[in-house]
Amino acid sequence: MTPAKIKKLLQFHELLFAHYGELECALYYGEPHELMIAAMLSAQCTDKRVNIITEKLFKKYRSVKDFATVEQEELEGDIRTAGLFRSKAKNIIATCNIIIAQFNGQVPQTMEELNSLPGLGRKTANVVLGNAFKVPGFPVDTHVQRVLNRLGVVDSKYPEKIEKAVTAVVPDKLWTNFSHLIITHGRQTCQARKPDCLNCSANNICKYGKNNK
């Protein structure tokens, strides 16, 4: 990343933080395994829908063991509206069994260990690390990808490449909240189909915004 892009990225963080402040994860959870499961359910599903599902789900299944021992067909019925429910149910059950067998029933706290679990990619792992364990993580979802490409600080469709570029220049203590800030901005202002450039706090530094004045 060039010095000019680094400056723009850090300025973007300042602008977003001034506008939104310190944010919390949009997924509802109490225990680390609940956040892990909620994040797994969020693949190709809105956080709003996931929160509706997990409100009942986490009352029915209260522990890792509960998820590990449920019949897949039953869990599929519980999460059907999340989409991709068959593969998600299979991965949740498999993951919880591995956590019991290999991690003493506790959700692991490293990227390598989380990545070894079925259905957990870097984005999900970063969500768990940053929010459940306060280990710096920068999840890159479709909002982060879209906003940072429009801003002009990255030019990539690959989440891992974007994550690497951002975390190389942004202090790690900012990573988790910066991701929350960008995701919130992407939902509220820099939407996919109709970005509200005129009311965007970053309009003056955004490549996309300047081109659409």
Question: Cβ of 97: how many Cβ atoms within 10 Å?
Answer: 16
Structural tokens at position 211: 């081109």
Structural tokens at position 50: 């996931």
Establish whether 7 is a catalytic residue: no
Rounded-to-integer distance, Cα 135 and Cα 132, Å = 8
Task: Tell me which residue of 79, 95, 68, 93 sits closest to 43, measured CA to CA.
Answer: 79
Distances (CA, A) of 126 to 117, 181, 209: 13, 15, 29
10 Å CB burial of residue 112 (0-12, 13-18, 19+) is exposed
Establish whether 78 is a catalytic residue: no
The alpha carbon of 130 is separated from its chain's Cα centroid by a whole number of angstroms, namely 10
- Active-site position among 8, 123, 157, 207: 123
Distances (CA, A) of 111 to 26, 62, 91, 115: 21, 24, 18, 6
- Active-site position among 66, 78, 141, 194: 141
Structural tokens at position 121: 């990619």
10 Å CB burial of residue 153 (0-12, 13-18, 19+) is buried
Positions marked catalytic = 123, 141
